[in-house]
Structure 1
């Protein structure tokens, strides 16, 4: 069948004669035919539009060192392109037939033929496609060949050595500081791989800006922690040392002095990160603009997606018939409408069950926190005079928080491994028709699960922990047994930072361990055969490499999107998150490049306009990040109560003017509880607790004070103002800065005009030229008739 379709085949035995390789060649005529079938855009003439010079050209003497060497990777010549038409070959810019079609184009056309060539016909049943033969074990593998060894330049002059160039200028550790050669990546691997690395590089650049802002906020907070008034008051033995706080659990917990939280109060200083929130929201807007440039440069602006063939797993179970709503022809389907509903319902039910399982694990960890803190508290001394600094209390809180975070991380990783298999099984059970449908379905399931798995504990600490605890006389109990968990004495912000550090850092370490172990195994395999590689032909060397896998870049995208969530959703509590993500991504780009060039077989190139289903997911996370960070600043930190106190309750007169101060803030934010209202009596008359309630003796004792409602109003106003500022900024920038740059729009118009003139109007002139003699005869005939009529008239 392949030979009937015009391909040339060549067989070759392996070195050990255990395998037979079939090499597929694409003649020129076949390439031209399928280039037209696939609507591949090819050059019609060089780009004649003048490019605007960058205002930063004066820095080229510095920036050129951060780009791949132009002596090795020459800048691609820009061309105006048009969909290829075989009959108009003379109008295309064919400088060299061997270089007219790029390797990725050749591979894509070859795979198109291989996936449609029939191999068995029995009556009305027709089997086709190399994918089925691979699944059935008839063939071991099918892959395009690399052009040369990655670490040795080919001695053949006609070999382009693109793999060697990519390794040296992109994947090699010595090139870690250089920009990515995206055009060469796209040329060698296709648009789908190119767009992934373009997005990863753009995201990393955004992280660099966010890291600068986050690092600046962290440094400012660290340098001012010793000078903040509330920290001084907490640490002052005459102020915080004389404030006795109520126990945080029943019976076994003891009283403690406020100055025991001195260190945690210093690191709880938070400064608003609105610049990062704005950067997050406009990141995707600028990515759309950059993506539009890539779409034009890589000829995917008018990309016509070919109708995807059904997956072999789908076709294998096609036992029912239905009328196709488009063609009105009978076709085979694997299930009826009722069967599809059952499959989808079972899939949704399974996903919901696993999400409930995650929430149950979060509740179990909360119970663990309460039990461990209670266990620590029973070992503490109860004599208040012997516990002046009471550092043991802080140790108990910190130990509980750290161990709970580690356990949470272990549970997350275990559930993640189990659910990954469940998600693949569910998606296989649903039987999506095409590969794109399969990837989109799996993407939604995996992200929804991992979103709840990774972020649920963080959301609990940020928005639920310590919010509903009642007051010492009437505490709130969880499950009717456990007294509801309160925040660390320094606030829940520290615990949220600890949780993020453990999960985010642990995930990065675990991924790097997997990478190292995986690469160590492959390096060992490579070293055992490197001596004989000179006599092994290229196709056999590539067979010994790893296959890319059916899901391709799915796991790479998933890892980065989860990281994007950590960086954006909780950046207000952990300003160093962009810094850690930036360092990780700088290694991630080079490790991914190293793997794809040295350890993987060459992938079948695929067209892609964008990053697919991940783009709306990122947009949803970016929108949620604005509300999440605004709420963290408002409800988890102490910034709003401090501002309310500073502007409303702390005006002290100085002569003719008044001045705002933070003195007295700590005393103002702690409520009083009468010890006589407590069952266990001690020598103290009262103790304090974190809340805004009226003191005992007031006609509304232990009810929320007016200060509490002022703070609530200020928090809600802050959330509304911040959200509106960020969203308004995003709207204004998206309106002012169009998705498609002006120069790209002009180039697209110019390209369409040239395509119309060169390809279509030329044909119109030929048709007019052929019809001109016929038109002249008709005109002459009409003139003769007119003369006869005039003669008769006269």
Structure 2
């Protein structure tokens, strides 16, 4: 085993301990420090007594392999844990710098003479993951076998404190983000995530305000709308909504329901949906410009992930052979089949959710509580939303396992390819998990339930749900509101409280080590040996402090991206049914940025800094969501909402039809619309008589009725669809086609109009490349 190594303390560490002040006064005299300011990496294992002999042998073998690569290993034992501090020699980083300089796709600033610790960590992380023992197992395999308990890179105390003061605190919620400082500490990948999240949050301000205006527009006409008055003042008797205990009810009972519907299903909804579709395109185009400015400043515009990986492979092993590209039609077919089966399973869960809602409505209607019995459909709808949220929690774990297994089947060439493949699969599964139920509510609920005398039933027993006369859009609104609020609120609470509570429980021992370590470097030469032992205690205190933080892995940042992209989907795809979604997203994101920052800086182990110049495959996912948003919003307005039926009634069947003015009769152009959307079922019809019992046809006031109304366009004699139904259907599809073509054209124009990069950035890259070519020519001529 390697001998315990002693090293001089860094100035940053002494500042943290209060021994040295930042202004240079009262400094303790110390010899010059030529070693790196921090260890590059730390491995943790169980002590010998608690390990199997074979595991201990593999641990020693792996450490010896690291030493063969001239990595310096410092071993410190603490009770039942063994810590290995890893430091790489400067020769490794000099090779890396040289290969970057001669590379075509990777740039290295000529004035950067010191390799930053973030780059050191990335290189050492790659070496550790690509150092196998004789039996062929690498570090990942050894971690799975519990040969090592943990691996992590250390937080830098001074920079960590600076980030906490300027960024990772709640009082900075309305301040800008120090993106360059985040990049220097966590790497470009993390910095671009926060840059994207900040830009997304900033551009949510216009749709949040407009969505609020649309909501207030509906609120302004809350009591003046003729449709609301017609519903609230109607004495129309409606058919029972379920079998057995459900009775006929009055249309006026849905007065509140109709008012809520008007808040988001109004004329402003169409314009808002078109705006959001165009906004999604402008957001992506302006993001490309915003990103270009930063990646140009960071000198990673021409960076190539595959070439960077080749450089790291050479640095790790000069005689390496790169893993070849491979493609197997058999494996691809198998993966495609598995993905299809998984999607069908998720859609099957949506069907289970439909059955749950139907059965819940029946049970609530037959229950002993009168309030629940009278509002069985609304109660079933809310219970369905809660059940959907539970499905999301369970399926998120299942989706992750399946996506990882499919990536293993593919046998991708590099980690970057694996990450891309995993991202696409995981998002696809999550998208269907979140939105399958919403698509059912938006486009199928109340449209396939049949009619009195011919209801569609599950297993020939339970009737499918139907919409209230006010429309089904309210159901979609409630579903989205419950899922979005629950997801964001509960997720944020657990995301912060669990790591914080875990850190609080582990703080006592760390504080004892800090008190002991405060005197580490105040010893004179006569006590050098004792001082050295205390220095080991200081290292151990720092390593234990990092060890007890919450673990992170390669996909930790992926979880944050997935959460925000799912939110982006909610904000854009069904925004016609939920105009307040952008406002909720804006409020959540202001909190999310600081929550993630606090968690990443103070509650979690330091992420391995990764280099990149874009957000990767997520940009393709966002563009796909933008296209889907156009289609979905067009269908929601054209098919799900009552916008088209109201339009047809106004100009074809209402008092103002065919240009006829209703001024002489003082009628509104929409007067009689609600009654026009209802059909009548007569009890003297044999099928209807068998459908409803005599008790069900008794009104709340105790009057027996011989007919009832239901929402549909059907003949009162033979229940066939009326010509008005077919006219409305034709106009619906015509609107959807027109809406999508107009919005798509606007999206293309917006994408063409906004350059993908500012002209200043393009010119800077041009002159920078010209200058490098001139320098190469001078070197050649010399």
Aligned to 1:634: 638
1:629 alignment partner, SS class: helix
- Selected match of 1:103 from 117, 139, 142: 117
Deviations 1:403-422 (A, max 9, x none): 22222222332233334334
Does the Cα contact within 8 Å between 1:671 and 1:691 map onto a contact in 2?
A: yes
Aligned to 1:200: 197
Q: CA deviation at 1:505?
A: 2.0
2:252 corresponds to 1:221: no
Deviations 1:364-401 (A, max 9, x none): 332233233334445799xxxxxxxx987752221121
Q: 1:304 to 1:450 in 2, by over 3 A?
A: closer
Does the Cα contact within 8 Å between 1:281 and 1:726 map onto a contact in 2?
A: no
1:268 alignment partner, SS class: helix
Alignment of 1:245-260 (within 5 A): 245-250=238-243, 252-260=245-253
In structure 2, what is the Cα distance between the partners aligned to 1:692 and 1:503? 33
* RMSD after superposition: 3.6
Alignment of 1:607-622 (within 5 A): 607-622=611-626
1:299 alignment partner, SS class: coil
1:533 alignment partner, SS class: helix
Does the Cα contact within 8 Å between 1:231 and 1:265 map onto a contact in 2?
A: yes
- Selected match of 1:476 from 431, 456, 460: 456
Aligned to 2:257: 264
1:653 alignment partner, SS class: coil
In structure 1, what is the Cα distance between the partners aligned to 2:627 and 2:589? 23
In structure 1, what is the Cα distance between the partners aligned to 2:684 and 2:193? 66
Aligned to 1:145: 154
Alignment of 1:702-741 (within 5 A): 702-741=719-758
1:13 alignment partner, SS class: strand
1:300 alignment partner, SS class: coil
Does the Cα contact within 8 Å between 1:671 and 1:695 map onto a contact in 2?
A: yes
Unaligned runs of 5+ in 1: 43-80, 86-91, 149-160, 311-326, 382-389, 767-794
Q: 1:280 to 1:330 in 2, by over 3 A?
A: closer
2:670 corresponds to 1:666: no
Q: CA deviation at 1:648?
A: 2.8
Aligned to 1:35: 97
Does the Cα contact within 8 Å between 2:442 and 2:640 map onto a contact in 1?
A: yes
477-486 or 656-665: bigger deviation: 656-665
Q: 1:374 to 1:657 in 2, by over 3 A?
A: closer
In structure 1, what is the Cα distance between the partners aligned to 2:737 and 2:378? 34
Q: If you compute each CA radius of gyration, which structure gives the higher value, 1 or 2? A: 1
Q: CA deviation at 1:341?
A: 6.1
Aligned to 2:359: 371
In structure 1, what is the Cα distance between the partners aligned to 2:363 and 2:218? 34
In structure 2, what is the Cα distance between the partners aligned to 1:654 and 1:449? 53
Q: CA deviation at 1:233?
A: 0.7
Deviations 1:150-175 (A, max 9, x none): xxxxxxxxxxx322111111101221
- Selected match of 1:503 from 474, 478, 483: 483
Q: CA deviation at 1:133?
A: 6.1
Q: CA deviation at 1:143?
A: 4.0
2:756 alignment partner, SS class: coil
Alignment of 1:365-444 (within 5 A): 365-378=353-366, 395-444=375-424
TM-score (norm 1): 0.76
Q: 1:247 to 1:555 in 2, by over 3 A?
A: same
- Selected match of 2:447 from 455, 459, 467: 467
In structure 2, what is the Cα distance between the partners aligned to 1:289 and 1:585? 21
Does the Cα contact within 8 Å between 1:268 and 1:494 map onto a contact in 2?
A: yes
In structure 1, what is the Cα distance between the partners aligned to 2:149 and 2:238? 71
Does the Cα contact within 8 Å between 2:67 and 2:73 map onto a contact in 1?
A: no
In structure 2, what is the Cα distance between the partners aligned to 1:655 and 1:195? 60
Q: CA deviation at 1:753?
A: 1.4
345-354 or 258-267: bigger deviation: 345-354
Q: CA deviation at 1:290?
A: 1.8
Q: 1:116 to 1:673 in 2, by over 3 A?
A: closer
Q: More relative contact order in 1 or in 2 (CA 8 Å, sep 6+)?
A: 2
Q: CA deviation at 1:116?
A: 5.3
In structure 1, what is the Cα distance between the partners aligned to 2:145 and 2:243? 66
TM-score (norm 2): 0.77
In structure 1, what is the Cα distance between the partners aligned to 2:107 and 2:400? 41
The aligned length equals 662
Aligned to 1:179: 176
